[in-house]
Amino acid sequence: MRKQFLFIFLALVAVNASQAQTRTTRIGYIDMEYILENVSDYKEARAQLELKAQKWKQDIEAKKLDINNLKEGLKAERALLTKELIDERETEIKFLETEMMDYQQKQFGSEGNLMHQKAALAKPIQDQVFTAVQDIAEAKNYDFVFDKSSDLTMLFSNKKFDISDQVIRVLNRTDKREQLNKKQLKDQEAKEKLENAIDENPAMADRQKALDEKKAAREKLIEDRRLEQEAKKKEYDDRRKAIAAEREAKKNGTVSEPAKTDATKTDATAKQATTGTEATTTEPAVDKAAERQRLYEERKKELEERRKKILEEREAAKKAKEAETQKSNTTNN
């Protein structure tokens, strides 16, 4: 089969070269497995199929456990059983083993449910891929487009001839267009035009990549600053609430002993700093610097933990919103 593909490929190249000597033959290829892994609809359906496969595996393991229990029971009671009872139990065990093997073959065999459902999942996406490849080939004058993951063995393939990402963008554009208004469609068309120009010009692709990296770094810096400001604001609010609570407790006469002790220590420290007592004046400068550094490190660690917490909360909220939107879209469809 592979030899036939190779022979046909070489024959087509030779014919095309003889008929169009003045024009360079354009050849591209796709990786169907890579494309399927990057299509959201296929990934979601594949995840659901994996859950089914896990359930089938659990059923098989449960059957194996029951059979092993029966074997162990027969082994322990064999000396007490008659020949008829032993034969009966052995027949039952053999029947259960055959039933388990049939179930395993039905679910995971070469013609089993898993293989059939995988093919059924991939078929609609593959049809869309074939249509997208034809559109790209016609628009960009490709003479041949091959599938890297097919039976045709490709000993070497230059990445610049890989149009898999272009196919994925075409599939994503089709899904997006169904949900865009006129203005959004116009913006989308402009973006598509830029992407097509980048595909045709590797130098432009490198420049665009550098611009995207700079933009991502700038956005990350802005986000870090914003999170740091939020952390500082939250700390200020917490401190203000604690002071207000302490004042209210003092007003009501319900200040606990530890709180009073802390207040006393604070007053003593302030008084000591104001009057310039001997303890303050004799403290080594090195100890003060070390204390300031320790406080700075603790403060920095606290801010970092708060920033991470805020990021986690935002990410969780974003995922929840996306799940709700997806559920709503599925319901509407």
Average pLDDT of adjacent 10-residue blocks, the chain of 333 residues: 56 55 76 85 85 93 94 91 91 94 92 88 85 87 84 76 85 65 59 61 67 82 86 85 83 57 49 47 59 79 83 83 75 62
For residue 3, the model assigns a pLDDT of 55
Largest Cα–Cα separation, the chain: 104
For residue 124, the model assigns a pLDDT of 85
Q: How many residues does the chain have?
A: 333
For residue 18, the model assigns a pLDDT of 54
pLDDT in tens, 90-105: 999 999 999 999 999 9
Residue pair 230/304 in contact by the 8 Å Cβ criterion: no
Residue pair 259/265 in contact by the 8 Å Cβ criterion: no
Residue pair 155/83 in contact by the 8 Å Cβ criterion: no
Residue pair 259/246 in contact by the 8 Å Cβ criterion: yes
What ranges do the domains of the chain cover?
2-200, 207-252+298-323
- Backbone φ and ψ for 15, nearest 5 degrees, come out as -65, -45
By the 10 Å C-beta count (0-12 exposed, 13-18 middle, 19+ buried), 28 is classed as buried
C-alpha distances (whole Å) from 178 to each of 184, 330, 331 are: 11, 14, 16
Closest CA to 166 of 210, 135, 202, 203: 135
For residue 64, the model assigns a pLDDT of 94
How is residue 145 annotated by DSSP? E
Structure tokens at 270: 């302030």
Hey, which bits of the chain come out as E strands? 27-30, 144-147
> 30 - beta bridge partners?
147
What contacts 9, CB < 8 A, 6 or more positions away?
144, 146, 152
* pTM beyond 0.85: no
For residue 260, the model assigns a pLDDT of 45
Structure tokens at 120: 């059924």
Going 112 to 114 to 115 to 121, the CA torsion angle's sign is: positive
For residue 189, the model assigns a pLDDT of 59
For residue 4, the model assigns a pLDDT of 58
Residue pair 129/167 in contact by the 8 Å Cβ criterion: yes
